[in-house]
Chains A and B, each alone.
Chain A
């Protein structure tokens, strides 16, 4: 099972919006609405930010939103803040009854 494809890095200025893509296949991202997104700050455990493509867990800011079109899922962060600087990972359930992660995207807030 190949990793999902994410851009290595994205950047934005405070207050702007950014979008991180996560591209898979019809056997994972495109075949199920089981895409999740995680935020990881250096030295910390990841934190669930989005589940089932577009749902936010309790306590996660509504500045974070998710969507999917075909085999590509996206995470959008609006109103960028300094504390959003972190690594972001997508994951998806697969037709092999497995879970696959994306390679991760480093977000820099300029």
Chain B
């Protein structure tokens, strides 16, 4: 079964850091670009960033709202993608989804999401 499972969410104070993990199974992880999308409570979807597969250089792109604070990485040997979030702000509070991204920038496999709450 094709599956993505996020972990690492929780309550964190403003200014602190948090790392989310996304464990993949059921497909060849290394062949896919991986992306993160978030959804604040009661709000719409917001793209966070993506990391290309090694075949496409393994490079990253980020939304302006998180650039310089968030870092996406991947460990193909473990089939895990990471989202390192630094200098967290209250407006980063959201459900964070891990997803696979096709070569035409469609998000075809979604995890169940993990909630991140930034509050003092």
Residues of A within 8 A of B (CB): 1, 3, 33-34, 36, 38, 40, 45-48, 51-52, 57, 87, 89, 91-93, 97-104
Counting chain A CB atoms within 10 Å of each CB, the highest count among B102, B106, B111 belongs to: B106
**Cβ–Cβ < 8 Å partners of A97 in chain B:** 61
Interface range on chain B (Cβ under 8 Å from partner): 20 to 34
Report the Cα distance A53→B112, complex, angstroms: 25
Report the Cα distance A52→B37, complex, angstroms: 19
Known A-B contacts A36-B106, A38-B45, A51-B102; A45 and B112 likewise in contact (beta carbons under 8 Å): yes
Give the Cβ gap from A95 to chain B, nearest Cβ, in Å.
Answer: 12
Known A-B contacts A46-B45, A101-B47; A1 and B63 likewise in contact (beta carbons under 8 Å): yes
Report the Cα distance A51→B104, complex, angstroms: 8
B45–A45 touching, CB < 8 Å? no
B61–A104 touching, CB < 8 Å? no
Report the Cα distance A106→B102, complex, angstroms: 26
**Cβ–Cβ < 8 Å partners of B35 in chain A:** 99
B104–A101 touching, CB < 8 Å? no
A98–B61 touching, CB < 8 Å? yes
Give the Cβ gap from B105 to chain A, nearest Cβ, in Å.
Answer: 4
